[in-house]
Structure formats: C-alpha cells, structure tokens
Amino acid sequence: MAKIGTRMRGMQQSSIRAMTARCQELDAINLAQGLCQVPPPSLLVEGARDFGKADHSYSPAEGLGVFRDAVADRLKRHSGLSVDPSTEVVTTIGATGGLLATLTALLDAGDGVLVFEPFYSYHLSALKVLNLRPEPVRLAAPTFEITEEGLRAAITDRTRAMIVCTPNNPSGRRFTEAELMIVSAVAEEHDLLVISDEVYADIYFGSDPHLAPATVGGLGERTLTISSLSKSFSIPGWRLGYVCGPAPLMSTVRLAADALVGCAATPLQEFGARALRMGDDYYRDLRATYDGKRRALAAGFTAAGLSPNEPEGAYYLLVDCSAMGVASGVEAAEVLLERTRIGTVPGEAFYLNPPERPYVRVCFSLSNDVIAEVVTRLANGVL
C-alpha cells in the first residue's frame, strides 16, 4: 500500500474548515469561516454576461497584462506602492497560491520563518507543507503590538524570513509605521525576506488609509506583497490573487507559480481587472458596510457578557470568553455551538502556543439578517 508523504504526516484539517463542516451537520450559523456573504459588486455580476466572449485559453504564467496593469494602478492609487506590471507582478490562484509560490521560490526546507501570533492558520499550513520552520513572535493581547524586544528574541540562526499580515487575520490589528520601522530595521540587520499579506487592505475602520509595509523604511527592496480580490469584492470562490515585489525576486516567483499551477483562470483575470479599477466611492461604501456589521455583532457579544476586541480592519472579532468559565477557546467554541448553534473558531487555531485567554474568532461578513439572528441567539443565553 502506498505510504503518506512525509510532509503531510501530522497534518490535519484546519479548525476553520472542521467547524464549517460541523455547522453544516447541525444546521448551525457559521461564524467560523470567512465565506464572505456580502454580495459582490453589480459590475462583476452583470459582467458575467460577457463570460462567453472572454479568452478561455491559458494566460501567461505571470497573468494577463490587463490584470497586472490594473494591479499596479490599484497599488499606486491605494497604497502609494509603485510596481512595474511587466516584471514585478505575478497573478496567482488566490493569495494562498501566491504565498505558496513565494515560499517555494525563495526559501529552502528547514529555513525559519517568523510568524506573529495570532497568525492566519493557513500561513502555518503552508510552512508545514513546504518543510519550513515556523518561529512564533508572541504579540500580547489586547493590543497585539510588535515590539523590537519580542521580535529580536524570536530570531534564530535558521531565520530567513517573516510573514506580516496587516490588517491582521484574526485580530484586525493594523500595524503602525513605528512598528513597521522595527520590522525594517530587524529585517535589514538579519537580511530577512518579508512577506506581507494584505488581503484585507481595503477593509479598515477609521480615517487613516492602508499602510503597505513595502512603503516603509527599507522594506521595499526585500518585501513581497501578497493580496487577492476575494475580500474586497466578495468573490473568494474566484481564487484570484497576486504577488508583487522586486523584479529579481519576482522572476523566480513566476517560475514557481508556473510550476505549481500553470496559471490563474484567464477569463476571471479579465473581469478582475474591471473590479480593480472601481472608484473610491465603492471602497468607502464597503468600509461603511463592514463597520456597521462589526458594531452590531460586537454589541451582541457584549450584551451576552462576553468581551469582543475592537478590530481596526478585516472582518473578524476575537471574543474573550473568560466570562463563560471555560479554560480554552476550544472549550468555548464547543459550548457556543451546543448552547446557541453558532459556530466559531477556537483561538488556539491562530497560535503555536496556547493564547493568554480563551478566545474564539467570529466573522461578520454576513447578511444583516444573519447577524440579527446571531444577536438573538446570544441574548437567549450563553453564560
């Protein structure tokens, strides 16, 4: 009988997908997975009528020129980041495909990669699949700030890179210029690659625009920026993302992306280019929509006696369930599922070591009706 590959031994289904499956079995409300239940913009829905006219052959490994041009234009307008679309952008199958191509292209098995806890759990999965070594940097609740002392303490003789996620999944934290200057100084001193996950760049709360790490200090020459269209346009099923960075690094990322998957879906790149050129009004409305959902869901958990954090971006809350008398986020998620038929993700999914508090993560990319039902269920009794 064929054996399981060494790299997959010990791998398990993610806590997020596992809870999604349980929600389906129990007919529970799924706040676990960021399924993005907000409708996509009408421009994309109406554009589907032109699908048959689109190019249905392979695109170049780096993606269609029209899509890469749109990416470069969007980055310049929204982040002040200048990239050459012909040499510094590669289209990928979602941000996850971009991360895998980047890690494959630029790191070797056994290399250490710094991850800031709490981290997006799929970052950890990608590292494990490629036999890379995750090195945690604990960001203390409730502020989750980067400190120079904490970052330096996590570096080993095997450290070759770090992953930054801003706005952060799961905490919603947006790293400041001062924090990113710490990242820049440490990365330069130790010659580290910086991988910046900015999938939630368009979803933030407050007046300050998104701050792209590659625009801070000396990070531009060593940073690969990864993003996708999933969150900004409510199309996670399209699996359309991109990586951008210095041309000498991107030429190898392109080779890795080609070797791994060939190319992203050609017709979706054409429609994605339309989305990326949408005006500022769309993004203002998007942020206002999510801000309302954030406030409504947070108020529901607060009224139930629990303690949600105040995210600065993304579309998740980290809820401290200490008032439930539970010992862990795993226990809290089970109690919530049993008592309210609400599915959440245990905080342990976002840490290598146990978190300080019994957290669960909940998603508010839902319809207002679903959020109202969640609030009602919470009011009927959690404690």
- The secondary element (H helix, E strand) that includes residue 159 is strand 159-165
Cβ atoms of residues 79 and 201 within 8 Å: yes
**Torsion, Cα of 269, 125, 309, 359 (10° steps):** 150
Cβ atoms of residues 359 and 383 within 8 Å: no
pLDDT for res 49: 76
Full set of structural domains in the chain with CATH: 9-41+281-379 (3.90.1150.10), 57-276 (3.40.640.10)
Residue 383, SS3 per DSSP = coil
Q: Exposure pattern of 268-305 as b/e (b: 16+ CB <10 Å)?
A: bbbbbbbbbebeeeebeebbeebeebbebbbebbeebe
pLDDT for res 34: 76
**Torsion, Cα of 57, 63, 65, 69 (10° steps):** 140
**Nearest C-alpha neighbor of 211 from the set 177, 173, 187:** 177
Q: What is the pLDDT along the chain (383 residues), one digit of tens a residue?
A: 777 788 877 777 788 888 788 888 888 899 988 778 889 998 888 877 777 778 889 999 999 999 999 999 999 999 999 999 999 999 999 999 999 999 999 999 999 999 999 999 999 999 999 999 999 999 988 899 999 999 999 999 999 999 999 999 999 999 999 999 999 999 999 999 999 999 999 999 999 999 999 999 999 999 999 999 999 999 999 999 999 999 999 999 999 999 999 999 999 999 999 999 999 999 999 999 999 999 999 999 999 999 999 999 999 999 999 999 999 999 999 999 999 999 999 999 999 999 999 999 999 999 999 999 999 999 987 87
pLDDT for res 5: 82
Residue 227, SS3 per DSSP = strand
pTM strictly above 0.85: yes
Distances (CA, A) of 40 to 100, 167, 169, 230: 26, 21, 21, 10
Cβ atoms of residues 63 and 242 within 8 Å: yes
**65-79 and 266-276 helices, crossing angle to 10°:** 30
Q: Which residues 6+ apart lie within 8 Å of 279 measured at CB? A: none
How would DSSP label each residue in 252-295? HHHHHHHHHHS---HHHHHHHHHHHT--HHHHHHHHHHHHHHHH
